């Protein structure tokens, strides 16, 4: 079983060896539905064929000796056949739609769970718009592939086989033209499908590219407008849309050269001439000729609908291939279901830890150039330190020194490439991932809030339903209660996506309240008070000192006041831990820390002067 950070217990296992096997494994999950669908399709074909034969018998009754009673009997039989056909067709259509909707739902859920289980390394290398295209449009295309696509193809296949059997029962000689048509139809269809599949694959890929570009532009709309780049973004989107349109035109060109409809026209002409010749020879009756032509008419439907059904199947397979590519992409972290579970005391130990980000392989930058292979960009090298339970560790260093990366190794957002990171003396790889992360809370500078109520955002890190009183208490501790109550709906106010309707300081206070409520054993603060004014920060610091009591805290900050009261300070430079100790020890022993401290102290003094 592939590694995954999250799995659904007792989830159904599908066959991932190929898109076709994957689709079939979805179908056979509910074997009764496709079985009844095929049986109903056979029933429809039999009723259609019987109706054509009865029409011929009606003509024979008119011109023969049966008279009016025989004619009325045949007419009533035709009426019964058509009514039965309508009922079976209703059942068939219902089953096809039901099965397609179930598979679309299952595939969407399967893809979503797979995305939840992927590591942050995977998500960092993906374009959000392309992932959204796979989760929405490609999954919908899977539905369209099943119905009307594959369902009509199955019906068409049956609608060819059954009439041929009935034609043979009328007169085996009448099979000559339909069999010649069938051979030419299969050859033409294979050629058509071979031309269509690469276009369909390119079409789905270009849709993902276009959607990714659109998502980037909308997500970065503030930057686009800030630099007056609307016209340039419009031109880029138009170029992507043009390529998408061109692929649709190519698909239309393939469909325009569809031969089977022409072959069917030839079949009707030659088939009628052959039946007329047999009639003249006395080997057929007029009614049998009419029945034969009616049976040939049934072959028109599968010939006609194959124009677009095979296109739908090709697009569906292309979408399934993209979905399967996402699901089966390996991720390096695993939830470790049977791993260590315990209440964290808070001891953290880094032993000679190395880490680097792996870049994704890139296609050749220009035709003829070699592809750019994946490589590892080193970030941390040989980092070793120990934090006792309840200690506050401040991490300082220049931008890009690896401060944030160091904190992400603690909760296994990433895994060290060398050395070990352990919590309470146990390697983090040995911990059950859910148990580990549920006891570690991270507040970052770039706060993400969901487009939900403020109460739901504060309670996000708590399993189950959080008590409103506890939510409000956490907000009060984070100095967020007053501004929340000033909002139109208070705690029930729905914030915009990513919290854009709130200020930076408001978003950070909600994130701090979320951390208070989750009651973590290890607290990671990544410059979490950078957008809070000095007066509010003083109040928050008092509350934060209370929540830090008895909890291990790793603090990344540019606030000198916070660095001073840390139990220990780590100094990073170019990914290496060059010094560690208390503030006084580092001021005395580390020139690098003195330079950093002076640079940090000057802005705060300036801010204080300005405020006064």
Q: What is the pLDDT of residues 138-153, one digit of tens each?
A: 898 898 898 888 898 8
Listed residues 328, 346, 369: the one ending a domain: 328
Instruction: State residue 608's pLDDT score.
Output: 40
Q: What is the pLDDT of residues 36-94, one digit of tens each?
A: 999 999 999 999 999 989 988 888 887 766 667 888 888 899 999 999 999 999 999 99
Q: What is the pTM of this model?
A: 0.75
63, 143: one domain: yes
384, 311: one domain: no
Question: Which tokens belong to 206?
Answer: 């270009």
Percent of the chain at pLDDT above 70? 91
Q: Is the peptide bond before 148 cis (omega within 30 degrees of 0)?
A: yes
Let me know if 386 is exposed, middle or buried by CB neighbors in 10 A (0-12, 13-18, 19+).
Answer: middle
**First CA to last CA across the chain, in angstroms?**
62
313, 411: one domain: no
Q: What is the pLDDT of residues 281-325, one digit of tens each?
A: 889 888 889 999 999 988 888 888 877 788 888 888 888 998 998
Listed residues 313, 328, 343: the one ending a domain: 328
270, 407: one domain: no
* CATH at 47: 1.20.1560.10
301, 229: one domain: yes
pLDDT tier for residue 432 given thresholds of 50, 70 and 90: very high
* CATH at 586: 3.40.50.300
Domain membership of residue 402 (yes or no) is yes
pLDDT tier for residue 172 given thresholds of 50, 70 and 90: very high
251-257 — which CB contacts under 8 Å span 24+ positions?
251/196, 251/199, 251/200, 251/203, 251/311, 254/192, 254/195, 254/196, 254/199, 255/196, 255/307, 255/308, 255/311
pLDDT at residue 137 greater than cutoff 70: yes
pLDDT at residue 400 greater than cutoff 80: yes
Domain membership of residue 4 (yes or no) is no
90, 223: one domain: yes
385, 295: one domain: no
Domain membership of residue 339 (yes or no) is no
Q: What is the pLDDT of residues 225-240, one digit of tens each?
A: 776 788 888 888 888 8
Domain membership of residue 452 (yes or no) is yes
Q: What would the mean pLDDT of 270-274 be, rounded to a whole number? A: 91
* Pairwise CA distance, residues 391 & 131, whole Å: 41
Domain membership of residue 336 (yes or no) is no
Structural domain harbouring 125: 19-328
Instruction: State residue 611's pLDDT score.
Output: 33
* Pairwise CA distance, residues 129 & 474, whole Å: 35
* Pairwise CA distance, residues 212 & 204, whole Å: 12
Domain membership of residue 277 (yes or no) is yes
pLDDT at residue 612 greater than cutoff 60: no
pLDDT tier for residue 419 given thresholds of 50, 70 and 90: very high
Domain membership of residue 202 (yes or no) is yes
Instruction: State residue 90's pLDDT score.
Output: 94
Instruction: State residue 77's pLDDT score.
Output: 92
Q: What would the mean pLDDT of 388-404 be, rounded to a whole number? A: 89
76, 198: one domain: yes
413, 319: one domain: no
285, 400: one domain: no
Q: Which residues contact 29 (CB under 8 A, 6 or more apart)?
A: 12, 106
Percent of the chain at pLDDT above 90? 30
* Pairwise CA distance, residues 184 & 509, whole Å: 72
Question: Which tokens belong to 320?
Answer: 């399934």
Q: What would the mean pLDDT of 514-534 be, rounded to a whole number? A: 78
* Pairwise CA distance, residues 204 & 138, whole Å: 8
Listed residues 328, 349, 371: the one ending a domain: 328
**Per-residue DSSP letter, 496:** P
Domain membership of residue 362 (yes or no) is no
457, 524: one domain: yes
pLDDT at residue 540 greater than cutoff 70: no
395, 281: one domain: no
Q: What is the dihedral of CA 541, 547, 549, 555, to 10 degrees?
A: -60
Burial 3-37 (b: 16+ CB within 10 A, else e): ebbeeeeeeeebeeeebeebbeebbeeeeebbeeb
Total domains in the fold of the chain = 2
CB 402 within 8 A of CB 578: no
């Amino acid at each position: 079983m592939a590694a995954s950070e999250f799995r659904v217990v007792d989830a159904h296992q599908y066959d991932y060896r190929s898109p076709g096997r994957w689709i079939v494994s979805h179908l056979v999950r509910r074997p009764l539905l496709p079985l009844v669908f095929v049986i109903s399709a056979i029933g429809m074909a039999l009723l259609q064929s019987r109706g054509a034969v009865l029409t011929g018998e009606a003509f024979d009754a008119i011109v023969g000796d049966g008279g009016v009673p025989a004619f009325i009997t045949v007419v009533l039989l035709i009426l019964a056949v058509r009514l039965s056909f309508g009922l079976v067709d209703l059942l068939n259509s219902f089953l096809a739609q039901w099965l397609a909707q179930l598979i679309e739902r299952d595939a969407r859920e399967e893809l979503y769970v797979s995305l939840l289980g992927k590591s942050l390394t995977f998500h960092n290398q993906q374009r959000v718009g392309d992932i959204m295209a796979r989760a929405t449009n490609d999954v919908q295309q899977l539905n369209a592939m099943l119905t009307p696509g594959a369902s009509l193809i199955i019906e068409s296949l049956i609608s060819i086989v059954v009439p041929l059997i009935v034609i043979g029962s009328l007169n085996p000689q009448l099979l000559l033209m339909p069999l010649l048509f069938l051979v030419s139809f299969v050859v033409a269809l294979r050629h058509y499908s071979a031309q269509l599949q690469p276009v369909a694959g390119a079409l789905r890929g270009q849709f993902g590219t276009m959607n990714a570009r659109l998502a980037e532009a909308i997500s970065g709309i503030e930057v686009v407008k800030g630099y007056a780049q609307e016209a340039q973004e419009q031109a880029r989107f138009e170029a992507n849309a043009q390529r998408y349109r061109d692929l649709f035109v190519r698909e239309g060109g393939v469909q325009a050269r569809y031969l089977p409809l022409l072959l069917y026209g030839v079949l009707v002409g030659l088939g009628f001439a052959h039946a007329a010749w047999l009639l003249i020879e006395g080997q057929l009756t007029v009614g049998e000729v009419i029945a034969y032509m009616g049976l040939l008419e049934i072959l028109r439907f599968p010939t006609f609908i194959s124009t677009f059904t095979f296109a739908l199947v090709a697009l569906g397979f292309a979408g399934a291939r993209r979905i399967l590519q996402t699901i089966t992409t390996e991720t390096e972290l695993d939830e470790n279901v049977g791993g260590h579970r315990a209440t964290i005391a808070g001891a953290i130990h880094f032993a000679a830890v190395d880490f680097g980000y792996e870049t994704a392989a890139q296609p050749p930058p220009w035709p003829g150039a070699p592809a750019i292979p994946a490589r590892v960009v080193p970030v941390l090298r040989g980092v070793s330190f120990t934090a006792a339970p309840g200690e506050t560790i401040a991490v300082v260093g220049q931008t890009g020194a690896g401060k944030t990366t160091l904190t992400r190794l603690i909760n296994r957002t990433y895994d060290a490439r060398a050395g070990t990171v352990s919590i309470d003396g146990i390697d983090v790889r040995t911990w059950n991932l859910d148990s580990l992360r549920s006891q570690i809370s991270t507040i970052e500078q770039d706060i993400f809030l969901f487009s939900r109520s403020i109460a739901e955002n504060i309670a996000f890190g708590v399993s189950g339903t959080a008590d409103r009183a506890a939510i409000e208490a956490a907000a009060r501790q984070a100095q967020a209660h007053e501004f929340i109550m000033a909002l139109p709906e208070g705690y029930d106010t729905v914030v915009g996506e990513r919290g854009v309707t709130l200020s930076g300081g408001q978003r950070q206070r909600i994130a701090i309240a979320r951390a208070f409520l989750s009651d973590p054993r290890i607290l990671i603060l990544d410059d979490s008070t950078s957008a809070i004014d000095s007066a509010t920060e003083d109040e928050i610091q008092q509350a934060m000192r209370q929540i830090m009591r008895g909890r291990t805290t790793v603090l990344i900050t540019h606030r000198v006041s916070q660095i001073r009261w840390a139990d220990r300070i780590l100094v990073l430079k170019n990914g290496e831990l060059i010094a560690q100790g208390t503030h006084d020890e580092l001021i005395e022993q580390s020139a690098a820390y003195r330079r950093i401290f002076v640079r940090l102290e000057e802005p705060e003094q300036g801010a204080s002067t300005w405020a006064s």
